[in-house]
Amino acid sequence: MSNDTLAGRTALVTGGGVGIGRGIAIALARAGVRTAVTYRTHEPDAELLDALAAAGHEPFARPLDATDEAAVQAFATELRDEFGALDILVNNAGGMVRRAPLPELDADLWRQVMAVNLDSAYYVTRAVQPFLSDGRGRIVNVASLAGHNGGGPGATAYATSKAAVFGLTKGLARELAPQGITVNALAPGFIDDTPFHETFTADEARKQIVAGIPVGRPGIPADCAGAVLWLASDAAGFVTGTIIDINGGVYVR
């Protein structure tokens, strides 16, 4: 597949300032896609901004709390004014918030995790859907291996929210198919160079996890970016409602 098929298209990557989102945004921009990114705590670095500019436009990077519906609607209006139609949406914003076993998992933390991982994807998708291109629109939701296997210790809320993203993906795939819009999800396993594992995975645990990956290495953001490039292309026009597992063979369905 040639990335030339993506040149001239437009994209939005939420949570695009760091980690998986950053890798996806850079890959799209280098494929000639005019790419907007949002971020909450990690501002885009120089490499990302240079990649966004290389597509021939001023970088479009905005702070956004994707759990705030009003803020998302205001951002979508700005994006539509700037981009016109949107071809590709990558809902990547999310996080664990913190690990908590059930006795410590109070309702406030539960709701916060759902808001960060599920509500954010719902709010953004609903806000941009009116100007998502019919016939070639692409939505990619970034979920997690935890949505399949329940995650590690204290990750029940996180795993539940990511499994819900699978449901959102499948429901929207059916709903938007008549408009020629595909909706798919990624379920990454252990991906290095992300704030998630820098925050929640101790060094010894990281070594044990990597030792158990059949392909013999941890994933990197580019592994996720490659899947997005394919899903965003014409080559994947008949693929919708699918969960793509990116875990090096740790979980095989």
- Residues designated as active site: 158
251 in helix, strand or coil?
Answer: coil
108-126 burial string, b = 16+ CB within 10 Å, else e? eebebbbbbbbbbbbbbbe
CA distance 220 to 18: 12
How many angstroms separate the CA atoms of 35 and 11, rounded? 5
Cβ contact 239:231 at 8 Å: yes
- CA–CA gap between residue 33 and residue 119 (Å, rounded): 26
- Residue 74's CB: how many other CB atoms inside 10 A? 13
